[in-house]
Amino acid sequence: MGAYESLLRPLVFMLEPEKAQALAEWALRRRWLWRLLSWHYDYADPRLRVRAAGLEFPSPVGLAAGYDKQCQSLDSLLALGFGYVVGGTVLREPHPGNPRPRVMRLPKEHALVNALGFPSVGVDAARRTLEGLQQQGNLRSKPLLVSIAGLSADDFVACHAALEPLADALELNISSPNTQGLRIFQEPDTLARLLSALSARRRKPLFVKLPPYADAPSRQQFLALARLCATQGVNGITVANTRPVEAPQLAMGRGGLSGRPLLEDTLLMVVEARAAVGQKTAINACGGIYTARDTLRALRAGADTVQLLTAFVYHGPSVAGRINRGLVKLMEERGRPSLADLIAGPDDGPAPRA
């Protein structure tokens, strides 16, 4: 157990989850601190490099959308060893999100349930923040993705136009379980219209974040959406968003489950998505990734990269560096010269719980 888990987390977890998040955001805005600490957290090794969706990632471990919704601390987050970060989700107009309480922890399960419903400063404010970070030259080192959402194709197109020049790629969030209107884009015809509206304009890679499936009909829909993304030239899909659950403790009475309980489903969905899309479309495995072993399992299932969020909340700023170190240790223990060889090789023995 690291210093964060034994010393800081018990204190941070005494706070209500959104207060703890506000404290973390305050700390992340002390940019000098994270620049200074990056020698400790940002573990780089050329063997971790991954090429996917036309982008070069220094590590396959990304921070998932939703941690830095306002895109205000992406530079600090990049200093923590993530191979890339996803800012947002950003909406076209400022939006307060759902009534509180809207986030809860399930510490025994290493999980969270959230029904945030997209609190967003709106696209204009996010654009100004990103412009500021770009002007300071703080976002050059690693790929930056920005997640966008909307209730109409026009909303998505407006967010895309405003933010694409400032990011390396955009991720379309059509899958939050907490926003009813988003579901229209889970209909293949509606998504197809949105993708063709974007295809004429876009200059940079595009990702689509899919909803997880729970039963046979939603599995068919998931596979149809994945195939549609591949045929429409989407560069990558993120598999997947949170799992809808009942949550009487939250004001909405339900929310999206994230964290460790999702891992096995994530791996299964990645296998199925890979079979559906073929080799051309990148896959980001998202849901329940905590360790180097989880990451390796996801890459073996067919993912190109992984994204995590809940593990960052539970394990703190060292989580990405620990996974990176764990992957390198595995390569060395097993005599594999590269990540690709580690992925392709037999699963010879237990991996460390990095």
273 binds ligand FMN (CB under 6 A): no
Q: Which stretch binds ligand FMN (CB under 6 A): 186-194, 216-224, 283-291, 337-345?
A: 283-291
In angstroms, what is the minimal distance from the CB of 334 to ligand FMN? 26
Indicate whether 116 belongs to the interface with ligand FMN (CB under 6 A). yes
- Nearest alpha-carbon partner for 225 in 172, 294, 262: 172
| Residue 242 touches ligand FMN, criterion: CB under 6 A | yes
Query: H-type helices in the chain, by residue range?
Result: 3, 9-12, 17-28, 31-41, 74-78, 123-135, 153-163, 188-199, 216-231, 263-277, 292-301, 310-315, 319-333, 339-344
SS3 302: coil
184 exposure class (CB count in 10 Å sphere: 0-12, 13-18, 19+):
middle
319 binds ligand FMN (CB under 6 A): no
Q: Does the protein bind ligand FMN through residue 129 (CB under 6 A)?
A: no
How many CA atoms does the CB half-sphere of 189 hold within 13 Å? 0
Q: Which of residues 249-268 bind ligand FMN (CB under 6 A)?
A: 258-259, 262
The answer to whether residue 74 forms part of the interface with ligand FMN (CB under 6 A) is no
**Which of residues 28, 53, 71, 311 is near ligand FMN by CB under 6 A?**
311
Residue nearest to ligand FMN (CB): 66
**Is 316 among the residues that bind ligand FMN (CB under 6 A)?**
no
**Which two tokens mark 202?**
């876009």
SS3 83: coil
> Which residue in the set 89, 179, 284, 295 belongs to the binding site for ligand FMN (CB under 6 A)?
89
Q: Count how many residues are written for the chain.
A: 354
Active site residue 147: no
Q: CA 82, 340, 54: angle at the middle one, nearest 5?
A: 60
Which of 176, 199, 218, 258 is catalytic? The answer is 176
Q: Catalytic site residues?
A: 176
Q: Which residues bind ligand FMN (CB under 6 A)?
A: 64-66, 69, 89, 103, 112, 114, 116, 147, 173, 176, 209, 241-242, 258-259, 262, 286-289, 308-311
